[in-house]
Every structure is written in structure tokens, then in C-alpha cells.
Structure 1
């Protein structure tokens, strides 16, 4: 009789990372082709991805409860899943902010933020994909380093645009709006770095 295979925890986490990448691509479309009239429709695509991600989290947690053996420590899987979930939640949160803050147009440099986000999420997605083979992977460390580098670039872009906002914008409501949006961008980039840092620690722990 063939032995029943255990639950694929690495595959499930890789699926979450792919969902994050797909959500970032939709956010890229929202920002680069911004239309307030289409925001609800496009935002719903991201919210569906977020709901799928929540389902993935629930499934992984259930499997952790019933699985006798896991490929790495249970608490490490929980930690990495939480960081991946934060990326998806942060992307979804931005679409809600565009809506409830009544954003009508994108400010200069907004496309630079989404470019960094998409690059960082892809770096995370590739890292998670390689994580199951971390002992022999030739690209895992490079992708992790890429996510960290992009977060640093995002910090500089955030500081520059926040200063520019207070220098140029006269409407206090717009200042409040874009402070929140810029913070949302930074939150996603921070979540990508957090995820990369967790993988770095787990590689060291399990080597």
C-alpha cells in the first residue's frame, strides 16, 4: 500500500506568496490606470484574493493541529504564514484607503511606490518558492537581499514624498489623505522585509 503523503506546508505558503504577487499586480493596475469609477470593481479582485488568503491561513493552521510531523517547527510556520498574510492584508488595505479617503487622482511618484511594491513582493514570492530547498538553493539569499534593499529604497521614497507633501500641498484634507496612503505603501514594503527577515532567520536555524 502506498504511503499517504503529508500536507504540503511549503506548497501552501508558496500559494499564499503567489496570491500576494497577484494582489500586487492588481494594485499596480489600479494605480497606473487610476479611475475612481473602477476602483470598487478592481478592488473587489484584491479582496477576493485576501479572502482566499484567509482560507489558506485557516487550512494551514488546521493542518498544523492534526499533523504529526512538520517540515520545520510549528511556530516557525505560523510566523512565516503571519508575515505573508500581512503582505496581502496591506495591499488590500490600500484599496480601502483609496475608497474611503475619496482619492480622485494619484500624486507624483505614486507609480514609483507601486513599482517597488511589485518588485518586493516578487522577491518574497520567489524566496518562499525556494524556501523548501533552502539548503541547496542558489537564488534564495539573493531574493531575500533584494526584498531588504527595496524596503530601504522605499524608506527614502516615503521620506522624500512626505516632505514634498507638506511643502507643496495647501489643502489640509489632502495632507491627511496622502499621509495615510504613503503610510500604507510603507506598511506593505515593511511587511515584505519582515517576511524576508523571517526566512533569513529560519534558514540559519535549520542549517
Structure 2
């Protein structure tokens, strides 16, 4: 019997609860991103606000999942991979959700009614990043398809680079063409929050890559 098989014998069965929680959290990012794009593409301001509120509720659900993962960490001595990595992965996923919600809060509070193409493009990149996170997280439970996880991490890094380009061009255009200083600040804040959400996606990818290296 291999050493891994011996350890598996002593691993509590409820350790497997971590993976469904991770998958719910990553899936929640995909739902939040889709709702964000739906909100940005509607001209009905009342409906947009309702969709913003839906994102708030989804972020709260994500917080509940984060709390549940921490609770499981306190209950289980043996975990699927390093406790530190579980904590970092949980926090990184939660950070993506926080910045999606933060972007929405800025648009709502600042009364941003005109949705520009850079805002929509950044939201689309957040969705693409969230989809890749969800794909990778679903491969974590057995680590048989390490290449799939690595490929998703590479795509997330590429998505973040694209978001940097969109943000830089959008801010440059604001300084060139926006004459109202208040409007300039409002849109720059919204763009920055959206771009940071893609940075947080890259943070998730970095944690996933660390897990791969440690469990190779």
C-alpha cells in the first residue's frame, strides 16, 4: 500500500465538502458576471438597479460560502491541500466578488447612467476570467487534469493583460475628451474597480498555480 493510500484511509470523509464549496464560490462569480453584463446592457435604469441589487445578494451568498469554508477548516485537521492555500484560494475568489460588487456600487452611487464601451468590455473580460476560474476549480478535486488548470491560469493572465490595455486606453481618452472633471473622476473610479476585478482573477490563478506546484 502506498503512503498516499495510507493517508487517505485516515482522511475524514467530510474533507470532501471543501470542493463543492469552492465550486459554488467559483460558480457564483460566473453568475455575478453575467448579471453585471445584463445590467450594463439594459437601458431601463430601474431594471439596472434591480440587477445591481441582485449582485449585492450574490456577493452576500459568496460571503456565506467563505464563512462556511473557514468553518470547515476549523473542524477538519486533515485537508485536501495546505490550509494556507485553502485560505488564500477562498480569499482570492471572494476578492473577485467584492470588486464586482464594488464596481456596481460605484455606478449606482455616482449615478453613472451612460455605459461606455470600455465599461462593457471590462465586464466581458471579468466574465471570461470568472469562467476560467470556474473551470479550473472544478478540476481541483482529483488533480488528474493538471494541464487543464494550468491552461485556464494562462488564459486568466492573458485576460488580465487585455483588461490593462482597455483600462489604459479608456483613461487616456477620458483625459483627452472629458471636459467635466466630476464626470472624469466618476468614470475613472468605475473603470479602476472593474479592472481591479480582473487583477483579482489573476490572483486566483496565482493561488491555483501554487497548489499545482505543491501537489505535482
Question: Taking structure 2 as the reference length, what is the TM-score of the superposition?
Answer: 0.90
Gaps of 5+ in 2: 1-10
Residue correspondences, number: 205
Q: What is the CA–CA distance in structure 1 between the aligned matches of 2:90 and 2:118, rounded to whole Å? A: 31
Quote the residue 2:127 is aligned against.
118
Quote the residue 1:27 is aligned against.
36
CA contact (8 A) 2:40 2:48 kept: no
Q: What is the CA–CA distance in structure 1 between the aligned matches of 2:162 and 2:40, rounded to whole Å? A: 19
Gaps of 5+ in 1: none
Quote the residue 1:58 is aligned against.
67
Question: Taking structure 1 as the reference length, what is the TM-score of the superposition?
Answer: 0.94
Shift of 1:93: 1.1
Q: What is the CA–CA distance in structure 2 between the aligned matches of 1:132 and 1:176, rounded to whole Å? A: 44
Q: What is the CA–CA distance in structure 2 between the aligned matches of 1:176 and 1:103, rounded to whole Å? A: 11
Say whether 1:5 aligns with 2:6: no
Shift of 1:118: 0.9
Offset from partner CA, 1:136-194 (integer Å, 9 cap, x none): 34411111111110000110111011000110101111101011011011111000000
Q: What is the CA–CA distance in structure 1 between the aligned matches of 2:12 and 2:123, rounded to whole Å? A: 43
Shift of 1:39: 2.8
Change beyond 3 A, Cα 1:92–1:65:
same
Q: What is the RMSD of the two structures over their aligned residues, measured on CA atoms?
A: 1.5
Shift of 1:69: 1.2
Shift of 1:82: 0.1
**Secondary structure at the residue paired with 1:109?**
helix
Q: What is the CA–CA distance in structure 1 between the aligned matches of 2:114 and 2:46, rounded to whole Å? A: 12
**Secondary structure at the residue paired with 1:130?**
coil
Q: What is the CA–CA distance in structure 2 between the aligned matches of 1:83 and 1:127, rounded to whole Å? A: 14
Moved over 3 A (4+): 135-138
Q: What is the CA–CA distance in structure 1 between the aligned matches of 2:13 and 2:117, rounded to whole Å? A: 52
